[in-house]
Amino acid sequence: MKIGVLALQGDFAEHIAMLRRIGAETAEVRLPQHLEGLNGLIIPGGESTTIGKMAVAYGLIDALRQFGQTQAIWGTCAGAIFLSKDAQRQQPLLGLMDITVERNAFGRQVDSFEADLHIPALQQADPTPYHAIFIRAPLIESVNGSAQILAQLTDGRIVAALQGKLLATSFHPELTADDRFHRYFLRLAQ
Amino acid sequence: METTTGTFAVKAGLAQMLKGGVIMDVVNAEQAKIAEEAGACAVMALERVPADIRAQGGVARMSDPELILKIMESVSIPVMAKCRIGHFVEAQILESLGVDYIDESEVLTPADEEHHIYKHDFKVPFVCGARNLGEALRRVGEGAAMIRTKGEAGTGDVVEAVRHARTVLGEIRRIQNLPTEELMAYAKNIGAPFELLLQTVQLGKLPVVNFAAGGIATPADAALMMQLGVDGVFVGSGIFKSGDPAKRANAIVKAVTHFKDASILAEVSKNLGEPMVGRNISQMPESEKIAGRGW
């Protein structure tokens, strides 16, 4: 199982470290040819505008759209924004997932937070609540078409969504020691 | 909803999100938009870039809150702002404005020549400058959630940035090979908190993200710092004191992403127009250097 991590900007090194720890092969993806032979791709946290601009500049938009037709892609935070169809402002998006997101929906950095989530899909084997870290996080305002809700805050706001092999999370599993989300993604990529 | 804000994890976490990116000094909303459009991962809002602070002299203080707010309104990327070393009231003011990061910076005139701000007391994260491992770990001990090597700001001469990055990263490589019983004496000698030194040994890197700053003026400079092993770069005067800021800013962003690809570095280095004029540090009197500020 070989998983690529989009390495244009952001915390791609944290995803790579976590993937290696659970036994996956990894590759950094900066150019379209780096997608060859991958079973899945993670788009890390970072600044979605920076990641989008670098993807446009190096011909990755079409390559990633094509990759996502058959392979698994998981976007965390900025990556979730980049995967979405609609971010309610002008910036380059892949438009692969039928979700609408709102950037910086919780406020500025002083409003960044940690919270325990109840995520049935992850808690079958280990019932411990999932402790999530939200940093200038986006909110998934709505899931449409075949996309479905995977996790919500206790007030009902959506923070994770799934559409076939495509996964979006507003928070950062790569910043924790809990590898349940990365194992979940490896199953999607199989 | 059971949530907690202002934890060290979310403060250090934002710096993680900035990695592999370029943080650019801007003095107004128009420059901030140019920086965002060029692909900056954050901007530093200030009244004067370091090259102008050097040229004009006088006391350099926190910027006008009105200016900082205007910059915050103009872009969607994180906005940082500087306070003077030890000036915790400037920091309180910046926190109340809602800036995303505070740089307790030697570029401004220090307000305290012995003590830095106790940064754990704040919900907003801080970045601090360092020239060596002891200084970096003292700042982390006070609560800094991000470190930047200092370089010599406002010169366009990368030599001090290289010196400081090599010093910090070299010391980290050295302590990997020390027997455990020698680490206490090492911590004492460099003035580092022992527990943080141990953590650095275990991680093989600083416990927080480490950017380079101070004198980076070209895409090649930025890629050099990345290849030396830093996580990202600050570019201060180097962009908006050059002939074609938008083009140079975009080229430096690309150079940081593709820092190991010499053919891309060659491509983005073409036709950038005039770089900032620059000051040769080897011919600069000691009294004009600012990297020594910080204790």
Among the partner residues B95, B125, B258, nearest to A30 by beta-carbon distance: B258
Q: pLDDT band at residue A68, thresholds of 50, 70 and 90? A: very high
Q: Is B81 on the interface with A (CB under 8 A)?
A: no
What is residue B278's predicted lDDT score, i.e. its pLDDT?
A: 85
From chain A residues 114-173, the ones with a CB under 8 A of any chain B CB are 114-116, 133-136, 153-155, 172
Q: Which alpha helices (DSSP H) does chain A contain, by range? A: 12-21, 48-57, 60-70, 78-83, 180-189
What is residue B170's predicted lDDT score, i.e. its pLDDT?
A: 98
Q: Is B13 on the interface with A (CB under 8 A)?
A: yes
- Work out the average pLDDT over A159-166: 98
- List the structure tokens of B227: 């290849």
Distance between CA B42 and CA B40 in Å, rounded? 5
- Residue of A14, A15, A102, A174 marked catalytic: A174
Distance between CA B242 and CA B233 in Å, rounded? 17
Q: Count the residues in chain A.
A: 190
Tokens 């979006």 sit at which residue?
A: A168
pLDDT per position as a tens digit, B70-112: 999 999 999 999 999 999 999 999 999 999 999 999 999 999 9
From chain A residues 34-53, the ones with a CB under 8 A of any chain B CB are 45-47, 49-50, 53
- List the structure tokens of A127: 């019932």
- List the structure tokens of A26: 């990894």
Q: Phi and psi at residue B45, in whole multiples of 5°?
A: -90, 120
Q: Reduced to 3 states, what is the DSSP secondary structure of residue B100?
A: coil
Domain tally, chain A: 1
User: DSSP labels for B280-294?
Assistant: -GGGS-GGG--TT--
Q: Is A177 on the interface with B (CB under 8 A)?
A: no
What is residue B148's predicted lDDT score, i.e. its pLDDT?
A: 98
- Sequence-distant (≥ 6) Cβ neighbours of residue A190 within 8 angstroms: A1, A39
pLDDT per position as a tens digit, A6-21: 999 999 999 999 999 9
Give the other-Cβ count within 10 Å of A107's Cβ. 13
What is residue B277's predicted lDDT score, i.e. its pLDDT?
A: 83
Q: Is B125 on the interface with A (CB under 8 A)?
A: yes
Q: pLDDT band at residue B133, thresholds of 50, 70 and 90? A: very high
pLDDT at B2 over 90: no
Owning domain of residue A171: 2-189
Question: CB–CB of B249/B32 below 8 Å?
Answer: no
From chain A residues 60-99, the ones with a CB under 8 A of any chain B CB are 77-78, 89
Distance between CA B188 and CA B208 in Å, rounded? 21
The complex's ipTM works out to: 0.96
| Number of separate helices (H) and strands (E) present in chain A | 5, 12
Handedness of CA B176, B177, B183, B189 (dihedral sign): negative
Distance between CA B257 and CA A51 in Å, rounded? 10
CA distance B143 to chain A (A): 15
Tell which of A102, A109, A133 to mutate to test the B interface (max B CBs under 10 Å): A109
CB contact under 8 A, A11 and B6: no
- Work out the average pLDDT over B21-36: 97
- List the structure tokens of A140: 């998934």
What is residue A125's predicted lDDT score, i.e. its pLDDT?
A: 85
Structural element, H or E, at residue B225? helix B219-228
pLDDT at B227 over 60: yes
pLDDT at B113 over 60: yes
Q: Is A108 on the interface with B (CB under 8 A)?
A: yes
Q: Reduced to 3 states, what is the DSSP secondary structure of residue B63?
A: coil
Distance between CA B24 and CA B30 in Å, rounded? 13
pLDDT per position as a tens digit, A83-104: 999 999 999 999 999 999 999 9
Instruction: Kindly list the residues from chain A whose CB atom is less than 8 angstroms away from the CB atom of residue B4.
Output: 113-115
CB contact under 8 A, A8 and B20: yes
CA distance A45 to chain B (A): 6
CA distance A47 to chain B (A): 6
Distance between CA B146 and CA B15 in Å, rounded? 6
Nearest to A41 by CA among A82, A6, A13: A6
What is residue B196's predicted lDDT score, i.e. its pLDDT?
A: 98
SS (H, E, C) A122-183: CCCCCCCCEEEEECCCCEEEEECCCCEEEEECCCCCEEEEEECCEEEECCCHHHCCCCHHHH
Instruction: Kindly list the residues from chain B whose CB atom is less than 8 angstroms away from the CB atom of residue A54.
Output: 39, 253-254, 257
Q: pLDDT band at residue B279, thresholds of 50, 70 and 90? A: confident
- Work out the average pLDDT over B276-293: 89
Q: Reduced to 3 states, what is the DSSP secondary structure of residue B228?
A: helix
CB contact under 8 A, A9 and B7: no
Distance between CA B45 and CA B48 in Å, rounded? 9
| Residue A174 among the catalytic residues | yes
User: Measuring CA to CA, how many Å separate B1 from each of A110, B115, B286?
Assistant: 17, 38, 55
Instruction: Kindly list the residues from chain A whose CB atom is less than 8 angstroms away from the CB atom of residue B16.
Output: 10-11, 14, 45, 172, 175
Give the other-Cβ count within 10 Å of B287's Cβ. 5
Torsion, CA A185, CA A54, CA A56, CA A144, rounded to 10: 40
Structural element, H or E, at residue B250? helix B245-257
For the domain that residue A148 is a member of, what is the CATH number?
3.40.50.880
Distance between CA A55 and CA A51 in Å, rounded? 6
Indicate which residues of B carry an active-site annotation: 82
- Work out the average pLDDT over A72-82: 98
Instruction: Kindly list the residues from chain B whose CB atom is less than 8 angstroms away from the CB atom of residue A89.
Output: 76
Distance between CA B118 and CA A128 in Å, rounded? 35
Q: How far apart are the first and last CA of chain A?
A: 8
Q: Is B204 on the interface with A (CB under 8 A)?
A: no
The pTM score is 0.97
CB contact under 8 A, A12 and B20: yes
- List the structure tokens of A46: 């970072």
Instruction: Kindly list the residues from chain A whose CB atom is less than 8 angstroms away from the CB atom of residue B78.
Output: 47, 109, 136
What is the residue type of B85?
I
pLDDT at B1 over 80: no
pLDDT at B16 over 60: yes
pLDDT per position as a tens digit, A127-150: 999 999 999 999 999 999 999 999
Tokens 């990755």 sit at which residue?
A: A60
